[in-house]
Amino acid sequence: MPRVVSIFLPDLSTDRIRRADPSIPVEQAIAVIARSGSKRWVSAADAAARKAGVHVGMPAAKAQALFRGLMLVDADAVLDTNALERITLWALTQYSPIVAVDPPDGIVMDTEGADHLQGGEQMMITAIANRFRAKGLTARVAIADTWGAAHACARAIERETVIVPRGETVRAVEQLPIHLLRLPDQIVVDLRTLGFKTIGELSATPRAPLTLRFGPEIGRRLDQMYARLAEPIEPVRSPELIEVSRAFAEPIGAAETINKYVGRLVTQLVSELQRKGLGVRRTDLIVEKVDGARQAIRAGTAKPARDVAWLTKLFRDRTEKIEPGFGIERLSLVAIVTQPLEEEQRSSSLVEEDTTDITPLIDVFGNRGQRVYRVAPFASDVPERSVQRIAAAATERDANWVHHWPRPVRLLHKPDPIDAIALMPDKPPVSITWRGKRHRIARADGPERVFGEWWKRDSELEAVRDYFVVEDERGQRLWVFRSGDGVDPETGSHRWFIHGIFA
């Protein structure tokens, strides 16, 4: 069952103009003028222009009269198409192996099996919307079971993102207007004349008279939307991509056969890469089945790879996820992201100590959707900020924490409030109660004073934490702190918290 993301770029043509010329100020209203015959009309208007009352379809002369400061640009459909294609190719390298242009102003992609790598669907589409906004593109993102439903929902929403849960397509689209059904304009106009407003009404109407009057198009679009008819996405390709493929006269299905051919394709791809002096960072395996459905597996590597065994392993790991269905007609292997990779001497064990390159192992974990990282010191006195996550394959930093004070092995995700009995201002607690359990303190060290970081947050301007290492009678060592310096109430609430557990 596929999951389809549709990205709608409502302001593509004005966003393109802005991206091409960054010197245009943000508040400058832009309208794009198209010609049909002798008529000049507004084909796109950005947010500022819309606010001034310019809307799409308005005669150009009227828009000009309405708003003096309006910047008028001639429409250029070819440039728009090129821009959309470029964005789509970029999305292909980022999000999913199957990404296609959804003309004139959208992108569609199949993210089945790709979302877990980005922390689930909600995280993924929010990230997409954010990335697009950062690139200066307004985007509406929807995810649904079918292309049709995702397409309609992306164009119907005011918000940036929407998720249509699995199997909820009918409920999501029945109230949407019929022009979102991807039908020819003339049919939409005629349907409106007949009084149809929503997709739900249309799908509740007997099919035969509609087909007789309008042809098979309406039935096809409805069936595609409700997943009664498959609608495979033909992934976008550019000539620079290195692709090897193999078609089968007799559809294959057995796991060993698939593995065998994947192995051969990898060998072929690697020799192709070798010829060009490239290594691959992201590789897609596209499986085309007899019934027209596609399945894709993407494997990423932490650094450029051109090693047959390494790449084969990454795919072998997951060929079991392929559902051959009625058989596989064609396998293709595409190098989506490549980087130059020179031949290098692997090891000279005579002088140097033998160090193992563990990048292949990191890749195996990463492709299984697990979070792989290293940690490194970060210059901050606040304990929870003193550790940062860095990429597992990052270069060695050689930095370490400098602490004269012992640090706890487990740090609580959030400091836990406790009840403590202590003399102010700088005595450690005599006893604490944590999670209903009382600990009598036998020994203690402290305080270690940690100041808030006023350059990060205003609320930390005067904040202070006094940390104590305390040990109860049975030897359990805990890290507790009092918020505030014990004298000045401005520095904190003077409440006690536990923050860590020592070994």
Partner 1 sequence: MAQSGANPVITELRERISHLEGGVSRRTQTLPFGISEIDEHLPGGGLSYGALHEFAGGAAGTVDGAAAALFAAGVAARTKGKVIWCLTRPDLFFPALAQAGLHPDRVIFVEADREEDVLASMEEALSFGGLGAVVAELVRLPMTASRRLQLAAEKTGTMGLVVRRWRRQTEASDFGQPTASSTRWRVSVLPSEALPVPGVGRARWLLELMRVKAGECAEFEVGACNAAGRIDLSTGFVDRQDKAGRSVHSR
Residue 476 sits in the site that holds partner 1 (CB under 8 A): yes
CA-based nearest residue to 262, from 285, 288, 296: 285
Cβ nearer to partner 1, comparing 401 with 454: 401
Cβ nearer to partner 1, comparing 408 with 452: 408
Cβ nearer to partner 1, comparing 168 with 416: 416
For residue 385, give Cα distances in angstroms to 114, 274, 498. 31, 44, 17
DSSP state of 428: P
- Amino acid at position 396, single letter: E
- Nearest distance in Å: CB 167, partner 1: 24
Cβ nearer to partner 1, comparing 94 with 386: 386
Residue 500 sits in the site that holds partner 1 (CB under 8 A): yes
Residue 61 sits in the site that holds partner 1 (CB under 8 A): no
Cβ nearer to partner 1, comparing 136 with 377: 377
- Nearest distance in Å: CB 422, partner 1: 9
**Region near partner 1 per CB under 8 A, out of 255-263, 319-327, 453-461, 463-471:** 463-471
Give me the phi and psi of 11, to 5 degrees please: -110, 35
Q: Which of 477, 484, 496, 498 binds partner 1 (CB under 8 A)?
A: 477
Q: Which residues pair with 8 in a beta bridge?
A: 106, 140
Binding mask 340-359 for partner 1 (x = CB under 8 A): ---------------xx-x-
- Length of the chain as a residue count: 503
**Region near partner 1 per CB under 8 A, out of 100-108, 171-179, 323-331, 380-388:** 380-388
- Nearest distance in Å: CB 373, partner 1: 5
CA-based nearest residue to 49, from 34, 65, 35, 63: 63
Residue 400 sits in the site that holds partner 1 (CB under 8 A): yes
CB count within 10 Å of CB 242 equals 18
Residue 484 sits in the site that holds partner 1 (CB under 8 A): no
272 with 264: CB under 8 angstroms? Answer: no
Cβ nearer to partner 1, comparing 278 with 501: 501
d(CA 175, CA 172): 7
β 98-102/161-163 pair status: unpaired
**Region near partner 1 per CB under 8 A, out of 106-114, 225-233, 252-260, 366-374:** 366-374
Give me the phi and psi of 180, to 5 degrees please: -85, 5
- Nearest distance in Å: CB 155, partner 1: 34
- Nearest distance in Å: CB 370, partner 1: 5
Q: Which residues contact 117 (CB under 8 A, 6 or more apart)?
A: 366, 367, 369
Residues contacting partner 1: total by CB under 8 A: 60
157 with 175: CB under 8 angstroms? Answer: no
Cβ nearer to partner 1, comparing 135 with 407: 407
d(CA 312, CA 321): 15
d(CA 125, CA 41): 34
- Nearest distance in Å: CB 195, partner 1: 51
d(CA 401, CA 386): 9
Could you check whether the bond before residue 104 is cis, i.e. omega within 30 degrees of 0? yes
d(CA 158, CA 9): 13
Cβ nearer to partner 1, comparing 112 with 471: 471
- Nearest distance in Å: CB 321, partner 1: 15
- Nearest distance in Å: CB 390, partner 1: 9
Q: Which of 55, 276, 427, 438 binds partner 1 (CB under 8 A)?
A: 427
Residue 486 sits in the site that holds partner 1 (CB under 8 A): no
> Cα 173 to chain center, whole Å?
25
Q: Which of 27, 240, 342, 396 binds partner 1 (CB under 8 A)?
A: 396
- Nearest distance in Å: CB 41, partner 1: 53
Angle in degrees, CA 300, 306, 309, rounded to 5 = 85
Q: Which of 50, 374, 494, 495 binds partner 1 (CB under 8 A)?
A: 374
CA-based nearest residue to 122, from 165, 87, 173: 165
Q: Which residues contact 130 (CB under 8 A, 6 or more apart)?
A: none
Contacting positions for partner 1 (CB under 8 A): 355-356, 358, 360-362, 364-365, 368, 370-377, 383, 386-387, 392, 396-401, 403-413, 426-428, 430, 442-447, 469-471, 473-477, 500-503
